Each structure stands twice: as structure tokens, then as C-alpha cells.
Amino acid sequence: MLEVRNASKRFGGLKAVDDASLSVQAGTITGLIGPNGAGKTTLFSLISGFETPSSGSVAFDGADISGMPPHRRAALGIARTFQIVQPFAGLSVRENIAVGAYLHCRHRDEAMARAAAIADRVGLAARLDAMASGLTVSARKRLELGRALATQPRLLLLDEVLAGLNPSEVRDIIPVIRALVADGITILMVEHVMQAVMSLCDHVYVLAEGRMIAEGTPAEVTREPKVIEAYLGPGAAARIAAEGGHD
């Protein structure tokens, strides 16, 4: 479904992404992990159209979309969440989600109905008319996910959707993510919560200093010496191995 080929992105003298390649198969959850500052969010921006690659290409369903603006990619079925959640604070949960629904809904009633259905899907049905400004961190994360889902994506880019959540909140949202794939949505996720990466992801890429240093199943990459050195550290790698992942 998605193919990033030898993509690089320069910001002046800084090469945030350096000759990085990845592919995402339809119907899977693919993880993108790595240390802070590795270039993960920049790579997401190249895929979603908020940045254009300095070199290399991005293809979706076999077509080169490297120069396509974000709104056209959204219409094709690519949606993303953002690491720093910024809901429209003066709007309700229903209205925030409806903003995404307007990509395909021409009438307000239709957009509002779709927003209500999606709020139920992400666990916000009871907060439909609550103002976004009063939501907890966990609820804001769910709202961000709901707003992206309202655009009817085929490929969903999740940028640290679990960041800032406590362990019980992480456990609660993992089934929501699994259900999206069961409904036909393909997911590429940036995440630091290794419990979730091990549980959810079919395939994982590891980015460090802008370059891909490893790929494989979650269990394979957590055993990779380069990944342990650049990101996990020996203690975390041993703990993950003891807990077990899925090959």
C-alpha cells in the first residue's frame, strides 16, 4: 500500500531523514520506533504531505505522491494524528470530529451523524457534547484519533497516540487500535510504548539519526545489537525478551 524509497529531508544543514526506505502492506500494523530526534515525525510528514522529500519518493497504491499536498492525500485515504494534540478547544467533541467528516460529507447532519458514530468507536460517546478544552489527556488522544478516522482513511498514521497515557489507559486503547485493522484500516504507528509495539505490530522499522538501522518482527528488532545500542539499552531489551513478543 505504501512505499517510501530512499527518502531524505534536509532543513538547512540538518538532514532529518537520510536515505530512509520502508513499506507498509495493506491490512497490517507497522511500527516505526527509535530515539527522540531520530526523524520519525519528519518521515510521517513526508508520507502525509506536510513536507516534501529533498530526494527519494513516496508511493501510495503504486502511484508517486511525493509532491501531492496533504488535502489530496487525505482524499486518497491517508490520515494522520499529531504528536502534540491540538483539538479545537472552543468546539465540542462532536464538532471536532465532524471537522474531519466534512472531507466526504456535504451536509451538516450527515457529518454530525458520522461524528457520533466515530465517537462511539473511540470511546467518547458519553462526551459527545463536552467541550474539547475540558478533556483529559487520554480523552484528547481519543478525540485526535476520532478526527482522523472521520476522514475515512485507508492508511492511518498514528504519531505517539499512546504518549502520556498511564498503563491502564494504554491497555484500554490497544483493543480500539486492533479493531480499526479488523475494519480494514492499515496502520503505521510511531510509538515509544514498547508494550504496545510488541503487542500490536506485525513488522517494525527502527530509525536512528535519520537512517533506518533495522527492520523485522518486534521480537527480531529488539534482539538486534544496533537497536539495543541506539535505542533500547540492554536492560530494556532483556525485559522485553523476558516478557515475550510475537514473531
The per-residue pLDDT for range 94-103, each reduced to its tens digit, is 999 999 999 9
Q: Residue 247: pLDDT band by 50, 70, 90 thresholds?
A: very low
Considering the domain architecture, whether residues 71 and 168 belong to the same structural domain is answered as yes
126, pLDDT greater than 90: yes
Within the chain, how many helices (H) and strands (E) appear? Answer: 10, 10
Q: Do 170 and 65 sit in the same domain of this protein? A: yes
Ramachandran class of 233: left when φ > 0, alpha when ψ lies in -120 to 50, beta otherwise: left
- What 3-state DSSP class applies to 4? strand
Instruction: Give the pLDDT score at 237.
Output: 55
Could you tell me which of 101, 104, 140, 103 has the C-alpha nearest to residue 117? 101
Whether residue 133 sits in one domain with residue 207: no
Q: Say whether both 173 and 71 belong to one domain.
A: yes
> What pLDDT score was predicted for residue 238?
66
Residues 95 and 129 in one domain: yes
Report the chain's mean pLDDT, rounded to a whole number.
91
pLDDT digits (tens, 9 = 90+) for 45-101: 999 999 999 999 999 999 999 999 999 999 999 999 998 888 999 999 999 999 999
Q: Residue 101's domain spans which residues? A: 86-152
Residues 162, 189, 54, 74, CA torsion sign = negative
DSSP category for residue 57:
E
Task: State the pLDDT at residue 236.
Answer: 62
Specify whether 200 is located in the same domain as 129: no
The residues, any chain, with a CB within 8 Å of residue 201's CB and separated by 6 or more, are 29, 30, 31, 189, 218
Res. 246: pLDDT tops 80: no
